[in-house]
Structure 1
Amino acid sequence: MSRFFRSIVLSALFAAVLAQDGATNSTSAEPEAGSNIPIAGFLPKNAPAIVALTLYAISASVLWINFFVIAPRRRFMLTLTIGMTTMAAGFALRIEYISSPFSVGAYIATDLFILLSPCFFLATDYMLLSHLAASFDEGLHKRCLLIRHSLIVKIFVWSDVSTFLLQSSGGGLTSTNETSLVNLGNNLTMIGLILQAVSFLLFTVVLLIFGLRVCKGFPDVWYPKSPHPFKIVSRKPIDDWRILFYVLCVTSVCILCRSIFRITEFAGGYTGYVAMHEGFFYAFDALPLWLGMSIFCFVWPVRALPTHSNDLGLNNDISL
C-alpha cells in the first residue's frame, strides 16, 4: 500500500510539473487575439457541475465516516475514500474553471483531477478481490483464482500506476500551444486509457471466473448457512460474502463503461462531437463512477470480508 501511494504521489508531482510547463509555454491566461473560444473548446454548464460536486461530496463524507467508524479499520480502503474526495475536488475545480474559462491552470487542474481520480477506484477493486480471496482457505483461492491472490495487487495496481503516468503526462502536454506536443499528449492519454481498459477488463474476467468456480466447486462456501439479514445502517459483519462479490461486479461494469467512454472521447479528438457535448461526460463518466463507488456507502467492504470459511468441500471438482 505504501509503495502504491508513493507511486501515485510521484505521478501526481510529475503531472504537476508538466502542467506547469504547459502553463508557462502558453501565451497567457487570456484567449488569443480575435478568439473567444475557451481552452476546453466550449464553456461547461454550471448546474450539472454543482450537482456532481454535491453528490460526490456527500458520498465521500459517508465513506470517510465508514472508514473511521466501522471496525476493523483497513488502510487499503483509503484508495476509495481518497478517490471519491479527489473526484469531488475535481468538480469544485471545474466550477472554478467555468468562471475563468481562459485560465490554463484552472483547465489543467480540473482535467487532471477528474481524469486521474478513477485510478483510485480501480485500485480499490483490485485490493478487495485480493483480500476477499485471501480470507478463504488456501485450497479455495488457489483453485478458483486464475492468478495468486498475492499477485493481483502487484500486477493490476502497478499496471494502474503505469497508465496513471501515461495519462498524467499526456494531460500535461495537452496544455501547451504547440500542436505537436498537444497531439503527443492526446496520444499518450489515449494509450494510457486503452491499456487501463484492457487491464481492468482482464481483472473483471479474473473476478467473474473466481465467482463461477466458487459457485460450482464450493457450494457450501457459495451458499452461507443461515446468514443474518443484511442491514445497511449497521456496524455488524455481513454474513453473506457474495454481497461484496456482486458489488464488485457492479462497480466493474461502471468502471468499464467509463473506460469505453473515455477512449471514444479521445478517439474523436479535442474538438470531436463527444468531447464538445458535456452531456456524454456526465452520462457515461461521472454518473457511472458515482453510482458504482457510492454502493460502498451502503456495503462497506470490511463488513463483508469473511474471517474464516467452513466446510469448503476441497475435494469437489472444478473446471471452467
Structure 2
Amino acid sequence: MSRLVCSFILFACFATGLAADTSDDQPIGGFVPKRIPAYIALVLFGISAIIHWIHFFTVKPTRRFLISLPLGMTAMAIGFALRIVYTYPPFTLVRYIAWDLFILLSPCAFLAGLYMLIGRLVAIFDQEVTDRCLLIHSSRIVKFFVWSDFWTFNLQGNGGGLAASKNATLSKVGNWIALVGLIFQALSFLFFTCVLLIFGWRVRAHFPAAWRPQNPRPFKVLSRQPIDDWRILFYVMCATSVGILIRSIFRVAEFAGGATGSIATHEGYFYTFDSLPLWLAMTLYCVVWPARALNEHSGQMELQALHKVLV
C-alpha cells in the first residue's frame, strides 16, 4: 500500500512537470496548515498504530490480512508528520502532494481490511447461514469489494496528485478525477455497510441460535484471549462503518466545492469530519482486535478465497 502511494506521488509530480522542489510566495492549497492540531493528530494516530502493530504480532494465530489496519494507521501518522514538515515553509509542491496523498489515500487501507474482514467473519457460520443472510454470495464478496477499493484508490491517487498542480486546467481535471474516485468509494462502502447490517439482521431473525452464542467467556479489553461472542466484532464493524461513512461524505463535499472552496480551506471541517471520525473508528480495533473473534476454520477458508481474488 505504501509503495502505491509513493508511486502516485511520483506520477503526479511528473505529470505536472513540477517535480523539482520549487517554491512560491503563496501557500499551496490557499492556506497554511496549523501545526498544533497536526501534532495532536500525529500523536493520536501514532499511538493507535503502535497498539495495532502490537496486536498484529502478538495475537496468535496471526491474520496476515489485518496488516492493512496498522499500515493505514501508520500511513495516516506519516501524513500528519509530512503536513507539519510542509509548513517549513508552506510553499513546496512536492511536500504538499506528499502529505495530501498520504492522508487522502490511507483510509483505502482501512477499507481493504474491512472488506476482507467481512469475508472471514461470515466464514464462521455454516453455508446455510451465509447463503440466506448475505446479499452477495460468499465466494464473490471479497472479490467485489477489494477490486472496488483498488480502482477507487487509483482514481483518488492520480486525481489528488494532479489537483495540486499550479496549472489551472490540470488542477481542475485532477479534482474531478479524485471526486469521481471518492464518490465511487463512498457508494461502495455504503453498499458494504448495507451488506453488513442486513447480514446481522437476518442472522438474528432467522438463526437465533447462531446470533447468540451459548456460554461465551467474559469479554476482556486489550486482551489476547479469544472472543467467543462474534457480535462484539460485528458491533465494532458497524461503529467503524459510521465513522468511515462520515469521512467519505465529507471528502465528497470537499472536492465538490473545489480546492479553494470553504470546506477545503478551513481546517476545522477537516479535523471534525475526517481525522476524528477515522481515528475513533479505527482505534476501536485497539480494544477489539479482529483476530480474537476469528477461529482457525474461518481463517483458512478466507485465505483461500483471497488467494483466488489476487491470483
**Structure 2 counterpart of 1:127:** 116
**Structure 2 counterpart of 1:234:** 223
1: distance between equivalents of 2:218 and 2:71?
30
Q: How does 1:278-293 map to 2 (within 5 A)?
A: 278-293=267-282
1:65 pairs with 2:54: yes
Deviations 1:191-211 (A, max 9, x none): 000000001101111001100
Letter in 2 for 1:242: R
Gap change, CA 1:68 and 1:59, over 3 Å in 2: same
1: distance between equivalents of 2:222 and 2:50?
15
Contact 1:91–1:114 (CA under 8 A) maintained in structure 2 = yes
Contact 2:233–2:290 (CA under 8 A) maintained in structure 1 = yes
Deviations 1:68-121 (A, max 9, x none): 111010100011111111011000100101122001111000000000000011
Letter in 2 for 1:24: G
1: distance between equivalents of 2:75 and 2:42?
10
SS of the residue corresponding to residue 25 of structure 1 reads coil
Deviations 1:201-242 (A, max 9, x none): 011110011000000011011111121111013211111100
Q: How does 1:200-215 map to 2 (within 5 A)?
A: 200-215=189-204
Q: How does 1:97-112 map to 2 (within 5 A)?
A: 97-112=86-101
Q: How does 1:1-320 map to 2 (within 5 A)?
A: 9=3, 11-12=4-5, 14-21=7-14, 24-25=17-18, 29-31=22-24, 36-306=25-295
2: distance between equivalents of 1:307 and 1:135?
9
1: distance between equivalents of 2:20 and 2:226?
57
Please state how far the C-alpha of 1:64 moved relative to its aligned partner.
Answer: 0.2
147-156 or 60-69: bigger deviation: 147-156
2: distance between equivalents of 1:308 and 1:64?
24
Please state how far the C-alpha of 1:28 moved relative to its aligned partner.
Answer: 6.3
- % identity of equivalent residues: 55
- Paired residues, what number? 298
**Structure 2 counterpart of 1:314:** none
Letter in 1 for 2:60: A
SS of the residue corresponding to residue 218 of structure 2 reads coil
1: distance between equivalents of 2:254 and 2:212?
42
Structure of higher CA gyration radius: 1
Letter in 1 for 2:23: E
Please state how far the C-alpha of 1:150 moved relative to its aligned partner.
Answer: 2.6
94-103 or 172-181: bigger deviation: 172-181
2: distance between equivalents of 1:192 and 1:78?
24
Letter in 1 for 2:44: L
SS of the residue corresponding to residue 157 of structure 1 reads helix
2: distance between equivalents of 1:204 and 1:124?
14
Letter in 1 for 2:14: D
Contact 1:135–1:307 (CA under 8 A) maintained in structure 2 = no
**Structure 2 counterpart of 1:312:** none
1: distance between equivalents of 2:10 and 2:222?
43
Contact 2:16–2:170 (CA under 8 A) maintained in structure 1 = no
2: distance between equivalents of 1:120 and 1:152?
17
SS of the residue corresponding to residue 99 of structure 1 reads coil
Please state how far the C-alpha of 1:22 moved relative to its aligned partner.
Answer: 5.0
Deviations 1:273-294 (A, max 9, x none): 1111101000000000000000
1: distance between equivalents of 2:127 and 2:171?
50
2: distance between equivalents of 1:142 and 1:80?
28
TM-score w.r.t. length of structure 2: 0.92
Letter in 2 for 1:305: L
1: distance between equivalents of 2:226 and 2:21?
56
Letter in 2 for 1:29: T
Deviations 1:15-36 (A, max 9, x none): 13322215633786221xxxx4
Letter in 1 for 2:282: M
299-308 or 270-279: bigger deviation: 299-308
2: distance between equivalents of 1:106 and 1:142?
49
Deviations 1:153-176 (A, max 9, x none): 111111011011001111121232
**Structure 1 counterpart of 2:304:** none
**Structure 2 counterpart of 1:315:** none
Gaps of at least 5 residues in structure 1 are 310-320
SS of the residue corresponding to residue 273 of structure 1 reads coil
